[in-house]
Amino acid sequence: MKIKHIFFDLDHTLWDFEKNSAKTFEYIFSLNEMSIDIQKFLNYYSIINRSYWRLFRNDKVTKEDLRYGRLKDTFDKINYPISDDIIDKISVDYIQHLSSFNYLFEGVFEVLDYLKPNYQMHIITNGFSEVQNRKLVNSKIDSYFDTIITSEEVGVKKPSPKIFEHALETVSAKKNESIMIGDNWEADIMGAKNYGMRAIFCNFDNQSVDDSVASIQHLLELKKYL
């Protein structure tokens, strides 16, 4: 059956999380007069943050654990002495300022303009509601999407089939009319496939993956499939 509904992930798929996160840390370290080798910090933070998000997806840590732990563990790795009070402040500053930086991946506007006339487009994200909505508005892509589904609002996270089920019910879509596009193999691709939806993997890091799933290395390659 013809695809009618496209569900996009947001971070690392459309919104350049790593670049925007780096800019945010540069800003808030300056704001708090902290002298830190930003590249050294980010080298550790990127890996630690992904690890915490994996735990968060699997309900092994809370939102609060994630926000504190990813910073505490990174500061420990770079041997930067810092109090819990300052970590808590940095955590709040980070969430407050993250959506102030809105670099998108190359080709986002071109591909969304290309898809918009023929499909209903939606977002399914495990990110926190108060931040994700600001990202969409501030990066000027909110108008492309009919519905924003956040795991926080649903109460379950990708790859749980319940979030995909909720999303399809919300927009009155059928599985065979829907496709998921995202960068996370476990959450986006296997989550959608296990629910019975088609998926396209944004393999921007050129990972070695199952070739039974459509895979792209640049967003404009979506034109080959849609």
Enter the DSSP assignment of 104. Answer: B
Q: What is the pLDDT of residue 212?
A: 85
Cα dist from 194 to 60, 185, 197, whole Å = 21, 12, 7
Same fold, 5-16+104-224 and 17-98: no
pLDDT band at 211 (very low <50, low <70, confident <90, very high): confident
3-state secondary structure of 68: helix
Give the pLDDT confidence of 64-89 residue by residue, as tens digits. Answer: 999 999 999 999 999 999 999 999 99
% of the chain residues with pLDDT over 70 = 100
Please provide the CATH number assigned to the domain covering 17-98: 1.10.150
pLDDT band at 10 (very low <50, low <70, confident <90, very high): very high
**Could you give the count of Cα atoms lying within 13 Å of 151 in the half-sphere of its Cβ?**
20
Give the pLDDT confidence of 142-186 residue by residue, as tens digits. Answer: 999 999 999 999 999 999 999 999 999 999 999 999 999 999 999
**Other beta carbons within 10 Å of 106:** 12
Helix, strand, coil % over all residues of the chain, rounded to 5: 55, 15, 35
Q: What is the pLDDT of residue 128?
A: 86
**Fold of the 5-16+104-224 domain:** Rossmann fold (3.40.50)
**Other beta carbons within 10 Å of 64:** 10
% of the chain residues with pLDDT over 90 = 94
- Average pLDDT score over residue span 114-142: 96
Annotated domain spans of the chain: 5-16+104-224, 17-98
Q: What is the pLDDT of residue 209?
A: 82
